[in-house]
Structure 1
């Protein structure tokens, strides 16, 4: 009996030991923060293609993403793998959308944001003031050895990530977005990828593709009402503000905030909403919280816990 138990224990250690082992960095012995910086650098500088699955609120989407550099210009393509084919194509600072149900269009942007974790564009040296980066050891994703790092806020007002970074290329192979209770809100998981020393073949066809019409944001910066947010989690700051009107002629003011990892937008509308509609809704990582005050409709939409969204809105002052 004792020998059988010893064999079972040894087998368990062989199977799970690499996950539970003490953090063991790759040959370059990077710290968690250095590894995160290497990840963002790899995403911008390597030529690579990958197939990944995104789990958003229980819905799985399979996509292909290709990224390449040529003549100091960035090229990328995001393509759906199931159902109706949809393409998003980046040519340097222009991102074009091709959907069979609507006319193609182009937006100015430095990168494709759809379906990719925002942490790929983060500045972790700046985020270190508000987040802790902790090594969690090694694991295996897409038949590759990876290093696991937890990105956790120093407060309890936002979500946190666990990321899985390829030891050899430093590309992100998986990210789990979790709430304060550890519930999975969104997952990015690579199932197949490859890198190349030269620009990928798709670049040539993308260069020859005509640009769809450039669409400008119809919202404009304007003089907003005298209101302000009395409280924000540390690190969040206003990025821009816009002013527009709805179909009924009501003014809608919006202000966009970010801490460099998570974002949210506040909308203040002259149209008073029915108080029975006040409240909150969470869809995956996205929270929608609304209240009526001072005869105005206040709505927050962003990647924040409901409790944080509620406090921000309720502390808004006119």
Structure 2
């Protein structure tokens, strides 16, 4: 683990608050999280943030403008080769000097940003508890810390830090069940105001690459298997079958609204390999040979959960 994590210190916020700020603290954790979701879409703001995981740290700038009910956004890395992602007209365009630019459909940029920025917390409340951890301080601003704690032992947890004044997310920690850090998001500088509105002109003048044609397989083909068990709250988002010559790969994407995982089933690729495990940041990659099939799970889940999901897969007779 890098010295960035070892040297991270949480400073208690010991400040004198106005009566208006005291009134804001009366919000329940769920109410505050819902205010966070609204603020992210309705405000015009810019922040520089650092995204950490156990193997890397990236510095990025995110700008968002709400103008006449339309959202515009830009995500830009601030180190190394320039990479830019822009949002306008419910289309997200990716620009990288070493790769062909492309556009996909989407209502918000999710790359490099915490999962909690794209979550329906009212739905999530069935499977998670929201615990008020009190005040803290991030980017020289007072925040309220909230723990998003699963009601079972099958998934990870979050601690989020929400600005008391404008309700924007200023920090988050994704933790495993033992409290070990998997990912960290920290805002370093923040600006909120309509002075950012000219960003919409800049984004409108960018020549956007044409939207990508769908390259996905057939979602109507029947799968030769189904998941016999997934943690409560996880639902099938989409399924897919791709065929290339004699190779056939079947996949299903699941989500509980906060975490995602995908199951892949294909012909046996490694006949001598009974199982294989990789960890990449918050992602678990677990593969096992079952019924002469190579079954792989990729997602933000504990290894024990991934193993149970795969072992409970039911194959068609």
Relative to the length of structure 1, the TM-score reads: 0.90
**SS of the counterpart of 1:42?**
helix
Structure 2 equivalent of residue 279 of structure 1: 276
Distance 1:120 1:127, change over 3 A: same
The separation in 1 between residues aligned to 2:135 and 2:166, in whole angstroms, is 15
SS at match of 1:77: strand
Cα deviation for residue 157 of structure 1 reads 0.5
Deviates more, 1:175-184 or 1:225-234: 225-234
Structure 1: distance between partners of 2:141 and 2:204? 33
How far, CA to CA, are the matches of 2:151 and 2:22 in structure 1? 27
Shift of 1:198: 5.5
1:205 deviates by 1.1
Say if 1:317 and 1:95 are closer, same or farther in 2 by CA, change over 3 A.
Answer: same
Give deviations 1:265-311, integer Å, cap 9, x for gaps. 00111243233272211111101010111111111000100110010
Structure-2 change in CA distance of 1:56 and 1:200 (3 Å): farther
Q: Is the 8 A contact 1:63 1:81 kept in 2?
A: yes
Q: Is the 8 A contact 2:268 2:289 kept in 1?
A: no
Q: Which residue of 1 aligns with 2:222?
A: 224
CA distance in structure 2 between the aligned counterparts of 1:285 and 1:193, rounded to whole angstroms: 26
CA 1:229 to 1:17, structure 2 compared with 1: closer, same or farther past 3 Å?
same
> Matched residues in 2 for 1:146 and 1:237: separation?
33
Larger Rg: 1
Query: Do the aligned partners of 1:275 and 1:291 also contact (CA within 8 Å) in 2?
Result: no
User: Counterparts of 1:223 and 1:217 in 2: how far apart (Å)?
Assistant: 16
C-alpha deviations, 1:7-61, integer Å up to 9, x for none?
xxxxxxxx75749xxxxx8423200010000011100110000000000233100
| Residues 1-318 of structure 1 mapped to structure 2, 5 A cutoff | 16=12, 18=14, 26-28=22-24, 29-197=26-194, 199-220=196-217, 221-246=219-244, 248-276=245-273, 278-318=275-315
3-state SS of paired residue (1:308) = helix
Q: String of CA shifts for 1:164-223, please: whole Å, max 9, x gaps.
A: 100000000000000011110000100001101355222111111111021133113131
How many residue pairs get aligned? The number is: 298
Secondary structure of 1:275 counterpart? coil
Q: Structure 2: 5+ residue runs without aligned partners?
A: 1-10, 16-20
Q: Is 2:12–2:137's contact at 8 Å kept on the other side of the alignment?
A: no
Offset of residue 70 of structure 1:
1.9
Aligned residues: CA RMSD: 1.6
- Separation in 1, partners of 2:272, 2:237: 30
Q: Is the partner of 2:23 in helix, strand or coil?
A: coil
* Contact 2:264 2:295 survives alignment (8 Å): yes
User: Quick one: distance in 2 between partners of 1:39 and 1:17?
Assistant: 20
Q: 1:267 to 1:133 in 2, by over 3 A?
A: same
Compared CA separation, residues 16 and 72, structure 1 to 2 (3 A): closer
- Residue 138 of structure 1: how far off its partner (Å): 0.4
Q: Specify every segment of 5 or more residues in structure 1 that has no aligned partner in the other structure, as ranges.
A: 1-14, 20-24
Preserved CA contact (<8 Å) 2:13 2:137: no
CA contact (8 A) 2:274 2:289 kept: no
Query: CA–CA distance in 2 between the matches of 1:275 and 1:41?
Result: 51
